[in-house]
Chains A and B, each alone.
Chain A
Amino acid sequence: MKKQFKTDKHSLIPKHLKLNEKEKQKILEQYNISLNGLPRIPKTDAAIVSLNAKPGDLIKIIRKSPTANESVFYRVVVNV
């Protein structure tokens, strides 16, 4: 069997999480913004293939940061 490379397990790829509808609405409310105003991520992005995300889903990314220790970022899943 072919060995599959798991992108979400790699140490250099920051943690990507799919938010549920409630969490998503909370973020949109917090930043007073619509999905159009958020940064985007293609649904084919290697980091989120295992999340099974659909366009319109919100992805929370937790990155390691040399200055802030951990930084949180959000991106909307889009087609291509």
Chain B
Amino acid sequence: MAKETKDKEKAKESKAEEKLEEVKEETEEKKAEETQKEEAAEEKKEKEPEKETKEEKPGTAAEETQKEEAAEEKTEKTKPEKMELQEQYIYKQVNSIVFSVLPPKTIKDMASAKIVTPELYDKEGYPVDGGLMDIRLGVIDPGLRCKTCGSKLKECIGHFGYIELARPVMHIKFIALLLNLLKSTCRDCSRILIPQNKIEKYKEILDAAEKEKGLEERRNKIKEIITNLKTINKCPHCKARQQKITIEKPTTLFENEKRITPIEIRTRLEKMPDEDCELFGIIPPHARPEWMVLTILPIPPVTMRPSITLESGERSEDDLTHKMGDIVRINQRLFENINAGAPEIIVEDLWDLLQYHITTFFDNAVAQLPPARHRSGQPLKTLTERIKSKEGRIRHNLAGKRTNFCARTVISPDPMLKLNEVGVPMVIALKLTVPERVNEWNLAYLKKFVENGSDKYPGANYIIRPDGKKKKITDETKEATLEEIQPGYIIERHLMDGDRAIFNRQPSLHRMSMMCHKVKVLPGKTLRLNPAVCHPYNADFDGDEMNLHIPQTEEGRAEAEILLEVQNQLISLRYGLSIIGCVQDGISGNYLLTKELVLSRQEAIDLLSSVGIEDFSKLPKKEKIHGKEIFSVLIPDDFNFTGKTRSGEEVVIKDGKLISGHMDRNNLGEGSGLLLRNIHKKYGKHATIEILGNIFRLGIFVLFKHGFTTAVSDTDLPEGIRIKINETLENAKKEVVSLIGLYYDNKLETFPGKTLRETLELRILEVLNKARNETGKIVANEADKSSHTMIMADSGARGNLLNLAQMAACVGQQAMGGKRVEKGFTGRTLSSFKKGDLSPEAHGFISNGFKTGLTPYEFFFGAITGRDSLMDTALRTPKSGYLYRRLTNAMQDLKVEYDHTVRDAAQKIIQFDYGEDGVDVSKSENGIINIKRIIKTIGV
């Protein structure tokens, strides 16, 4: 029996070999030995694609090169002819796209060389004929001409070659489909396992599904049909019994535990009639199932795998070339062994090796295969790796955009800049340019730039002649250029104050991450921005870098100005409040000023003029001026407002005068309070940034004059208080000890649903947290209210009472995952403690404050939770970034239509009324439309 199957196999193989030979187009006579039927089928199959390729592929290629040549000639001539060329363009509309499998015949037809040797270069370093770097495959060396198309480097796009495989090999990317095909077709007659009379019916089902719900639905239906077919074990056509087909990943197929060779797979698939293929979504002549088993492999042109010459003069080949070298070498050996009649085992080993190399040529990250590696150990980047992932062709080269006329450096703050300005270092201003077209009125103005040249600011770097030729301005060419300039020329002058620039910080998560600013050229080497606009960019100055883009056309500048300017981004479209506001010193300065400062008239005028105010008529005519009155100078005269401070006090502004309350984060900060929102509503965007800028600067200058710092002494506590705090902590510890005692005595009352131990933990946590809160309260009550730390906390500028309490009194319990620290050694957290110690200090309670200093084990617990949270953020950031990416991609073309419905690109309805209520949040006040005020303002 065993012998018989072996013989059968051999017979099959020899048959397959014959077929291979046939492809080699040498042995025409042997065809006769094949069955007549097969031959006919074969011819039918391959005829049509052949026609196609012959007509189209070489034809278009040749035409294109001709066209290119023609185009080149014409550009070198004069302008009118160029215009004519443009009119020659033929516009076509894409009606449909067909994806197909490359037929072996086409591979051969489109190839310009047959590759037969793994050698690359001969002794002289010249590419070997029939090698992988054959000069018929394109040129990558300057000076050489392509042997196929005759053009030079960069003009020749490269040409494919091919190799003939000694034995057919499975295509890794089609394995799943091939398995499905084999499972749902007969092993004898290759018909689909559906009775003849039902095939039409299934086709109708598929067509109906596609018509109704689209191509996706057709695919789903195909999947459904195939899954049902897999269980059928008798062919409805020839009644042959079916065997179970399994796959050993990645590429080996078994029928009843016996291996099926690619040769046999191919023979089976070849017999499949066209009408059956259609049920699998394979539409002949565009694709045939047997083409998914490779008999011939296209060799990509050298232009897509250029070799690089190292400094040492050595040549370093591309990964693809390496991989194909392996394929060609193994293929040669396989040929030799087969021809020499080597034992089947050796042949099969080589065959498997060839399969491995071809598989990794397509995809070097197949789960079940060890990736092919360089000698250095790093995996080769083959075809799939070139396309896939962030660094792949699609996301990196096609979807990724790079641009000229941009700059990037570290940013730093400059509150003296306006909110919509950006400070640009001189070195950058000398490089970035703005094109200005010469006309008779600006000729003299633009000539000045050329006179200055490229080194002297403000100068110009390039001129562009009307024919499009670009010329650099140098000291030598300057004179001639000046003579030459006339209307129609374009001068690329240096960046100047007032030019528009788009300013950006990654990650660009919302539209406020890219805003248009006015350029202000400054000394120094950083890009400068007003700290009030940090918030929309989410920028700080711990080394952040930002990008600057200079629009190059009038359209670009207009668009940037209208859509992106800072003024137009003031109100968040997420929550309907101002997203820019005072930060840090801007808040604490105004808090101090409006709460308690009283200045002399001289000081007040000094302060206001340093902010940039020149009109002091609003200042009351008296010697002692309260801070509220100084602040009121910045507010328009007819402004009325009522709001709340952070402490709940009422803030009243009447007729442009701050009457009661003081300024803090609730009124001046970003995204809180309606003060800025109302100013915006009443006076518009330009006035708002003006007023906001002034308020911010006022705050800063108040602190300049007043002096402001945070000191260790701010955390000082009177001796009595220190004792009180220690007592509180001692009492808490005692309470914990008694709880632990109760626990050991089994007298602790368990909480419902908790174990005794869990109850103990909860009780301890409760006691310790209470104690820490109490110390916090003591600190809050006793701390010096006029200390700067407290001013910052109270105004909301920075820090809070908890921070202060942690510094002055007690850091508190370090929690990991909602529990006390339990990690470390068996039974204990650190070697400083006994096993089973349940005391507060053994589980991360830090009773010292930061000022007193932590004990070594307290410090260690702080480090444990510190690192835990660091890890947490480090892991969460990319996760949420990916989630965000998916959300934006899913929603990018949703749009609110004129009937208030939200629809997608296919006009399908997502929401019937935008956001349920139809409110445009960016036009609302914190998502709410205040009808009462509207009525009041209209005066009904």
> CB within 8 Å of B: which residues of A?
31, 33, 36-39, 63, 65, 67-68, 71-74
Which residues on the B side are within 8 Å of A67 (C-beta)? 915-917, 919, 927
> Once the chains bind, are A68 and B909 in contact (CB under 8 Å)?
no
Q: Which 7 A-B pairs have the closest CB atoms?
A: A68-B917, A71-B916, A67-B917, A37-B908, A68-B916, A65-B916, A38-B909
Contact residues in B for A71 (Cβ distance below 8 Å): 912-913, 916-917
- Is B28 an interface residue, CB under 8 A from the partner? no
The A contact surface, by secondary structure, is: mixed
| A65 to B916 alpha-carbon distance, docked (Å) | 7
State whether the Cβ of B513 lies closer than 8 Å to any Cβ in chain A. no
Residues of A within 8 A of B919 (CB): 67
> Which residue of chain A is the closest to B918 with respect to CB atoms?
A68
Q: B912, A72: Cβ atoms under 8 Å? A: yes
Say yes or no: B917 contacts A73, CB within 8 Å.
Answer: no
Whether B907 and A73, one on each chain, are in contact in the complex, defined by CB atoms closer than 8 angstroms, is no
Interface residues of B (CB under 8 A from A): 899, 901, 903, 906-910, 912-913, 915-919, 927
Asked if A33 and B909 sit within 8 Å, CB to CB, the answer is yes
**CB atoms of A73 and B912 under 8 A apart:** yes
Q: Which one of B903, B909, B912 has the greatest number of beta carbons of chain A within 10 Å? A: B912
Query: How many angstroms between the C-alpha atoms of A73 and B916 in the bound complex?
Result: 9
Chain B nearest CB, measured from A41 CB (Å) = 13
Q: How far is the CA of A37 from the CA of B901 in the complex (A)?
A: 12
Q: How far is the CA of A38 from the CA of B909 in the complex (A)?
A: 5
Q: Compute how far the CA of A56 lies from the CA of B909 in the bound complex, rounded to whole angstroms.
A: 16
Residues on B with C-beta less than 8 A from A39 are 909-910
Task: Report B209 CB to chain A, min CB distance, Å.
Answer: 13
Q: Which chain A residue lies CB-closest to B901? A: A31
Which residues on A sit within 8 Å (CB–CB) of B901? 31
> Which chain A residues lie closer than 8 Å to B907 at the CB level?
33, 37
Given contacts A67-B927, A68-B917, contact A38 B899 (CB under 8 A): no
CA distance A71 to B917 in the complex (A): 7
User: Are A38's CB and B917's CB within 8 A?
Assistant: no
* Inter-chain CB contacts under 8 Å: number: 37
When distances are taken between beta carbons in the complex, the residues of chain B under 8 Å from A65 are 916-917
Extra contacts besides A33-B907, A68-B913, A68-B918 (16): CB < 8 Å: A31-B899, A31-B901, A31-B909, A37-B906, A37-B907, A38-B908, A38-B909, A39-B910, A65-B916, A65-B917, A67-B915, A67-B917, A67-B927, A71-B912, A71-B913, A72-B913
Please name 24 pairs of A and B residues whose Cβ atoms are closer than 8 Å in the assembled complex, sorted by A.
Answer: A31-B901, A31-B909, A31-B912, A36-B908, A37-B903, A37-B909, A38-B908, A38-B909, A39-B909, A39-B910, A63-B916, A65-B916, A67-B916, A67-B917, A67-B919, A68-B917, A68-B918, A71-B913, A71-B916, A71-B917, A72-B912, A72-B913, A73-B912, A74-B912
- When chains A and B are docked, how far (Å) is the Cα of A63 from the Cα of B915? 13
Minimum C-beta distance from B909 to chain A (A): 6
A77 to B908 alpha-carbon distance, docked (Å): 16
CA distance A31 to B901 in the complex (A): 8
Distance, CA A77 to CA B903, complexed state (A): 19
CB neighbours of A73 from chain B (8 A): 912
CB distance from B560 to the nearest CB of A (A): 34
**Separation in Å of the B921 CB from the closest CB of chain A?**
10
**Cα separation A76 to B917 with both chains bound (whole Å):** 22
Cα-based distance from A31 to B912 in the complex (angstroms): 9
Cα–Cα distance between A74 and B913 once the two chains are bound (Å):
11
Q: Which residues of A contact B899 (CB under 8 A)?
A: 31
Contacts of A31 in B (CB 8 A): 899, 901, 909, 912
How many angstroms from the CA of A63 to the CA of B917 in the assembled complex? Answer: 12
Which of A36, A67, A68, A72 is the most central at the interface, judged by chain B CB atoms within 10 Å of its CB?
Answer: A67
Contacts of B903 in A (CB 8 A): 37
Cα A37 to Cα B908 in complex, Å, equals 4
Cα distance A56–B221 when bound, in Å? 21
List A contacts of B909 (CB < 8 A).
31, 33, 37-39
Closest to A70 in B: B916
How many Å from the CB of A79 to the closest CB on chain B? 12
Contacts of A74 in B (CB 8 A): 912
Report Cα–Cα, A37/B912, bound state, in Å. Answer: 12
The CA-CA distance from A67 to B929 in the complex, in Å, is 10
* A65–B817 alpha-carbon span in the complex (Å): 35
B915 to chain A, nearest CB (A): 7
CB distance from A12 to the nearest CB of B (A): 17
Chain B nearest Cβ from A71, distance in angstroms: 4
A35–B912 alpha-carbon span in the complex (Å): 14
Q: For the complex formed, measure the closest distance between the CB of B182 and the CB atoms of chain A, giving whole angstroms.
A: 31
- What separation, in Å, do the CA atoms of A67 and B921 have in the docked complex? 12
Whole-angstrom distance between the Cβ of B643 and the nearest chain A Cβ: 22
What is the minimal beta-carbon distance from B929 to any residue of chain A, in angstroms? Answer: 10
Q: Which residue of B lies closest to A38 (CB)?
A: B909
Q: Which residues of A contact B916 (CB under 8 A)?
A: 63, 65, 67-68, 71
What CA separation (Å) do A38 and B908 show in the bound complex?
6
Q: Within 8 Å CB of B918, what residues of A? A: 68
CB distance from B771 to the nearest CB of A (A): 39
Measured between C-beta atoms, what is the minimum distance from A68 to chain B in Å? Answer: 3
Q: Which residue of A lies closest to B912 (CB)?
A: A73
